[in-house]
Amino acid sequence: MNPDALSAALLAVIAPLIEARRPGSSDGLTSADVPLERPKNRDHGDWASNAALKLSKAVGANPRELAAEIAEALGAIDGVASVEVAGPGFINIRLDAAAAGALAKTIVEAGAAFGTNETQSGRTINLEFVSANPTGPLHIGHTRWAALGDSIARLLLASGATVDREFYINDAGAQMERFGHSVLAAAQNKPTPEGGYAGAYIDELARRVLAAEPRLLELSDDEQLERARELAYRFQLAEVQSSLLQFNVHFDVWFSERTLHAPGATGEPSLVDEAVDRLREQGHVFDDGDAVWVRTTDFGDDKDRVIRRSNGEYTYFAADAAYYLNKGDRGFAHKIYLLGADHHGYVHRLKALAGAAGDDPEKDIEVLIGQLVSVNGARLSKRAGNIIEMDDLREWLGTDALRYSLARYPADSPLTLDPELLRKRTNDNPVFYVQYGHARTHNVGRNAAASGVDRSEFAPELLTHETESALLGALQEFPRIVAFAAEVREPHRVARYLEELAGLYHRWYDNCRIIPLGDGEIEAVHRTRLWLNDATGQVLRNGLDLLGVSAPERM
């Protein structure tokens, strides 16, 4: 019996009991109103519920008396071994071994689908993250958002949502002009312009530009700048895309900011032009002097925002508005922005923009802000000079260790990584501990096959050892962990769960044999334990995949 089935059984028991006390009280009652949780002390059973405490006041009942009635009815259900009432009305439930152990076969047969759920079904989500300027290599801050953003996308997809991972390419504006001038100066063997980009990577780009355009320096000044900028932009963007792919991060859409400013094919207004008119239609745009403003203070912003200056030039806010509206035009009802630690000012601005566009700022947009990350002993990039590059980190620490470690902590907490720990092949290293747990399940499977133990029998009632009960209880939790982590956008909950599961598996391995001792006969319990072994391996593998981390079969 899995948690959903038990929750449904609990609801079916409770509904008529409270309805008898107060007609109509069961209307609209759902499983969410009768929560189940795993007791911290396993002596208290497999599951616990405070439903009686939660519902008793509404129906005028004594909570302990109501709990006793629930316990009596629930105890008569197949698969429930016993139900006890504790304290003022807590309900402790213990499943019989067969009902609890049946989960092992369910997991093995479900395979990669175990843990998927429909809690986000029907939601269309645009998830934008990283979105670095294409003027240099990705750095350590981008690395954290790449790991977190991709893991959040995987969780949402596993929970039934329709998700597009999107990278917004900031390829318009003053930074692109500075970038072009910097590369051209390097190609001309001149000093970096004031305010420009410096570093060996600029020299590399200049060499590549000259190789692609040998007669570059023979062109007019304007043509030199345009060609240098565009070629260097193309090369740098390709490098960014390559870095992300090597970090196991995939994007469905690479959206160019230039798209927002470009006029239509037949001379129609640009998306930025249209954005001003569309916001004006919503009644939140006003003119002050020769400038055009959006009254974002109507939606909690600290000040109104200029969208078009008095000289006719658009502000960055205009591009933000056009981009937000474009996401909605592409069918995304919900937008999630993952922004760096220096973007706190964007939260109210973007939420106000959603309100000005006619959306609900509390439902249709989320802005997540990540905190800084550092690595003890990390060296600055030799190419860029003033940053720690993603590629350097990945080559130093490994994709798996880096992704797991970055996903293991809440995004809003500052993080310092310990490279010595992450490079250790010991149980002190969390990613090694979990991956080793998975590899051990495969090693057990190989040894079992060599000894003649297979899955030809399944007798779940034989899984009675206390470590088996604990392991099965943890396996039951996986779908709920996935659903909750998706809902609150917190991949670290999956990582911490996997560490707990690996620990329970290692303890079970130390106590329960799959291969008989010596010349002992292979029995049903050995074959059944192989199901449990393989089920654990499957859940560890599924969880690691949600974090973008590999699940090696040998270590």
Q: What's the pLDDT at 437?
A: 98
Q: What's the pLDDT at 372?
A: 85
38 has a pLDDT exceeding 90: no
Residue whose token pair is 């860029």: 384
The pLDDT tens digits of the residues spanning 352-374 come to 999 999 999 999 999 999 888 89
Do 235 and 292 belong to one domain?
no
Is residue 115 domain-resident?
A: no
Do 322 and 364 belong to one domain?
yes
pTM of the model: 0.91
CATH number, domain of 513, equals 1.10.730.10
Is residue 485 domain-resident?
A: yes
Is residue 9 domain-resident?
A: yes
Note whether 454 and 91 are within 8 A (CB): no
What whole-number distance in Å separates Cα of residue 5 and Cα of residue 269?
56
**Number of domains comprising the chain:** 4
Q: Which conformational region is residue 248 in: left (phi greater than 0), alpha (psi within -120 to 50 degrees), or beta?
A: left
35 has a pLDDT exceeding 90: no
Give the least confident one: 102-106, 244-248, 346-350, 453-457: 346-350
Give the least confident one: 40-49, 130-139, 538-547: 40-49
Q: Which residues pair with 306 in a beta bridge?
A: 293
Q: What is the DSSP letter of 344?
A: T
Buried-state track 487-526, b at ≥16 Cβ within 10 A, e below 16: eebbbbbbbbbbbebbbbbbebbeebebbeeeeeebeebb
The pLDDT tens digits of the residues spanning 254-298 come to 999 999 999 877 778 999 999 999 999 999 999 998 999 999 999
Q: How confident is residue 39, by pLDDT bands cut at 50, 70 and 90? A: confident
Do 88 and 23 belong to one domain?
yes
Do 508 and 440 belong to one domain?
yes
Is residue 397 domain-resident?
A: no
Do 298 and 165 belong to one domain?
yes
Q: What's the pLDDT at 378?
A: 83
CATH number, domain of 66, equals 3.30.1360.70
Apex CA 234: angle with CA 231 and CA 235, to 5°?
A: 90
Do 289 and 347 belong to one domain?
yes
Within 10 angstroms of residue 13's Cβ, the number of other Cβ atoms is 21
Note whether 205 and 103 are within 8 A (CB): no
485 has a pLDDT exceeding 90: yes
Torsion of CA 279, 125, 297, 280, to 10 degrees: 0
Share of the chain above pLDDT 90, in %: 85
Domain that holds residue 533: 425-546
Note whether 140 and 372 are within 8 A (CB): no
What whole-number distance in Å separates Cα of residue 355 and Cα of residue 295?
10
Do 139 and 282 belong to one domain?
yes
3 has a pLDDT exceeding 80: no
Of 195, 225, 246, which residue constitutes the final position of a domain? Answer: 246
216 has a pLDDT exceeding 80: yes
550 has a pLDDT exceeding 80: yes
Of 196, 215, 246, which residue constitutes the final position of a domain? Answer: 246
What whole-number distance in Å separates Cα of residue 249 and Cα of residue 152?
11
Do 328 and 301 belong to one domain?
yes
Is residue 280 domain-resident?
A: yes
Do 367 and 267 belong to one domain?
yes
Mean pLDDT computed over 506-519: 95
Do 142 and 254 belong to one domain?
yes
CATH number, domain of 344, equals 3.40.50.620
What whole-number distance in Å separates Cα of residue 217 and Cα of residue 137?
26
Is residue 365 domain-resident?
A: yes
The pLDDT tens digits of the residues spanning 140-150 come to 999 999 999 99
Is residue 131 domain-resident?
A: yes
Q: What's the pLDDT at 105?
A: 97
Do 467 and 445 belong to one domain?
yes
Note whether 333 and 124 are within 8 A (CB): yes
- Among 189, 169, 188, smallest CA distance to 233 is for 169
Q: What's the pLDDT at 546?
A: 98
382 has a pLDDT exceeding 90: no
471 has a pLDDT exceeding 80: yes
List all residues 6 or more positions away from 172 whose beta carbon is below 8 Å from its beta carbon: 257, 258, 260, 261, 319
Q: What average pLDDT does the chain have?
A: 94
Report CA-CA distances (Å) from 460 to 100, 113, 532, 555.
8, 22, 9, 30
Do 459 and 533 belong to one domain?
yes
What whole-number distance in Å separates Cα of residue 101 and Cα of residue 37?
18
Is residue 107 domain-resident?
A: no
What whole-number distance in Å separates Cα of residue 38 and Cα of residue 36?
7
